[in-house]
């Protein structure tokens, strides 16, 4: 019986569908972990997570299983055994699996038992649940391998512990959600450790995948619930953990303990990584965005520079006759602080041309939002033309408050490929801007410290589509609007419950109405980083045609 054991943890960033690239990265990690007894990779690592309906392609399944057989041959060298996530087809069924590779072959497989089917997850759509199983024996140690959701309820860990499991190794594809790491994940791990009396390794992937971003932040928790290792968030990391058998139980020796992050820090890093991976994995050379002199575009530009580097960010000011001198000055100053490419393309002639074209059609009608929206759509056309000509992706800049109530123009400011503010309410935009001005985010490629002019943060928000316009002409104050939306969107409260929070009934009624009737716009919006528990898109799925109103 062995008394020492070494487990390598590969907190890596796979690319969806890049089986050859993911395999090459896994091989490199295993080589670096020479001397370990086993190396653990994240859930469905070989294809990426979540694969959605891509995993139903027979060609992908075949390629993944061939990669397992190929990688297994490496283990004939006597180096670390491998626990790696993969889709696995067997007896006509498809499973979310982990393969044990050792001695030059696929020694064993274990299948995910508890398939999540809520929020961003649709695993019951594509996978068959596996049976409750016991542990795998690896180099004389009995290892339980629950897969991600399998530890959200007691049954799987309990079964593995009762059938002799000594250490639980849990591969995860757990998306970031603000506050989730500190509260939900640790409490979840602690509950399984307490119930089973076994130490548990929680290995999470890192990286962006469309709207989801994975923060890593992997943990090793001993049977006494002490944290032996806490890997950093937002970065790939390979570590080898040392284990000793004491009094017939396994204990992980202490290692790295990365500090926890406060809210603005973690949210900003999520936006950075989400944008960086979306741009890089889709092979865009960079991004282009409209820099208006307002806070949303300024913060979006700051995130883009921090994620991609200033040379990959192009900013364009597109003034109309309603654009104030303050906005022109603020946009120019923001571009200077960010040290990005910046140019001015006036839109007045283009707007006038559309007005002339539409004059016979609009005859006898007073000017209204139709004319205002032409300005926004001209700007969208200019940015898309630059994107088509030079290749950068258009980055949109609308925040969650605006998208909730439809304060955005289809084919105008909604025009683009990605939006880092999509799940960020307006008041948090202000907080993040102030935070960014006071710090240098870890891993950021931009300038430390102040990058957003103070006047941009301090002045009243405005779309500047007509004279003397402010957002509050059409919307409640953002501190009120965001509070109501938090209740209606994140918490799904009833009208009466929201009013009981102290909000004025007429305002709640109006916001609820705007929220529902704007669904058709959100369906046509670009993807953006999921930050909170109920983002528009993967989490909150409402019908467009919807006559229900809770408001009395």
What is d(CA 519, CA 2) in angstroms, rounded to the nearest whole number? Answer: 60
> Tokens representing 123?
């695993």
What is d(CA 199, CA 224) in angstroms, rounded to the nearest whole number? Answer: 8
- Host H or E run for residue 143: strand 141-144
What is d(CA 531, CA 416) in angstroms, rounded to the nearest whole number? Answer: 20
Handedness of CA 280, 286, 289, 294 (dihedral sign): positive
Say which of 25, 99, 123, 148 is annotated catalytic: 148
> Tokens representing 353?
């041309």
Across the beta sheet with 249-252, the strand order is 105-111, 93-102, 81-90, 38-40, 4-11, 237-246, 249-252
| C-beta of residue 277 within 8 angstroms of C-beta of residue 270 | no
| C-beta of residue 452 within 8 angstroms of C-beta of residue 433 | yes
**How far, CA to CA in Å, does 344 sit from each of 309, 324, 450?**
21, 14, 23
Specify whether 43 is catalytic.
yes
Quickly tell me which residue has 């990365």 as its tokens: 258
Strand-pair category, 212-215 with 237-246 = unpaired
Specify whether 501 is catalytic.
no
**How far, CA to CA in Å, does 541 sit from each of 54, 235, 535?**
21, 31, 9
What is d(CA 454, CA 277) in angstroms, rounded to the nearest whole number? Answer: 30
- Host H or E run for residue 108: strand 105-111
Residue 85: strand, helix, or coil: strand
DSSP string of 266-300, one letter each residue:
HHHHHHHHHHHHHHHHTT---EEEE--SSHHHHHH
Say which of 112, 237, 281, 426 is annotated catalytic: 112
Specify whether 112 is catalytic.
yes
**How far, CA to CA in Å, does 489 sit from each of 38, 467, 493, 516, 535?**
44, 33, 8, 11, 9
> Tokens representing 295?
């806070």
Among all residues, which ones are annotated catalytic? 43, 112, 148
């Amino acid at each position: 019986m062995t008394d020492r054991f070494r487990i390598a943890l590969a907190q890596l960033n796979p690319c969806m569908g890049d089986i050859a690239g993911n395999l090459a990265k896994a091989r490199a990690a295993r080589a670096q972990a020479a001397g370990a007894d086993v190396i653990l990779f994240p859930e469905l690592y070989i294809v990426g997570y979540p694969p959605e309906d891509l995993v139903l392609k027979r060609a992908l399944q075949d390629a993944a299983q061939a990669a397992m057989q190929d990688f297994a041959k490496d283990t004939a060298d006597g180096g670390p055994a491998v626990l790696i996530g993969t889709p696995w087809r067997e007896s006509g069924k498809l499973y979310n699996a982990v393969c044990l590779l050792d001695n030059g072959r696929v020694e064993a497989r274990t299948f995910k038992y508890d398939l999540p089917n809520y929020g961003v997850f649709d695993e019951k759509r594509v996978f068959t649940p596996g049976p409750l199983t016991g542990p795998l024996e690896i180099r004389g140690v009995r290892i339980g391998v629950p897969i991600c959701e399998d530890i959200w309820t007691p049954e799987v860990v309990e079964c593995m512990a009762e059938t002799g499991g000594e250490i639980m190794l849990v591969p995860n594809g757990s998306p970031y959600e603000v506050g989730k790491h500190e509260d939900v994940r640790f409490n979840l791990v602690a509950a399984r450790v307490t119930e089973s009396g076994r130490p548990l390794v929680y290995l999470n992937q890192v990286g962006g995948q469309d709207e989801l971003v994975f923060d890593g932040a992997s943990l090793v928790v001993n049977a006494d619930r002490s944290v032996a290792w806490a890997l950093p968030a937002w970065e790939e990391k390979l570590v080898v953990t040392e284990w000793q058998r004491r009094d017939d139980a396994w204990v992980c020796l202490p290692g790295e303990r990365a500090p926890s992050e406060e809210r603005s820090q973690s949210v900003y890093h999520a936006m950075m990584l989400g944008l960086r991976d979306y741009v890089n994995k889709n092979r865009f050379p960079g991004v282009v965005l409209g820099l208006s002199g307002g806070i949303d575009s300024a913060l979006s530009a700051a995130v883009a520079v921090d994620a991609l580097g200033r040379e990959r960010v192009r900013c364009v000011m597109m003034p109309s006759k309603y654009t104030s001198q303050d906005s022109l000055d603020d946009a120019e100053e923001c571009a200077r602080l960010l040290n990005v490419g910046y140019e001015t393309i006036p839109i007045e002639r283009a707007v006038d041309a559309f007005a002339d074209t539409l004059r016979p059609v609009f005859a006898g009608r007073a000017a209204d939002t139709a004319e205002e929206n032409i300005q926004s759509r001209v700007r969208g056309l200019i940015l898309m033309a630059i994107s088509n000509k030079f290749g950068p992706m258009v980055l949109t800049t609308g925040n969650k408050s605006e998208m909730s109530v439809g304060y955005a123009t289809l084919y105008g400011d909604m025009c683009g490929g990605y939006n880092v503010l999509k799940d960020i309410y307006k008041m948090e935009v202000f907080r993040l801007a102030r935070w960014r001005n006071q710090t240098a985010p870890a891993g950021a490629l931009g300038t430390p410290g102040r990058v957003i002019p103070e006047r941009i943060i301090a002045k009243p928000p405005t779309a500047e589509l007509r004279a003397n316009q402010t957002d509050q002409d059409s919307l409640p104050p953002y501190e009120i609007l965001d509070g109501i939306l938090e209740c209606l969107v994140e918490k799904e409260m009833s009208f009466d419950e929201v009013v009981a929070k102290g909000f004025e009934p007429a305002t709640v009624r109006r916001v609820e109405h705007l929220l529902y009737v704007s669904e058709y716009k959100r369906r046509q919006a670009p993807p953006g980083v999921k930050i909170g528990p109920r983002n528009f898109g993967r989490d909150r799925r409402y019908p467009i045609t919807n006559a229900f109103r809770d408001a009395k």
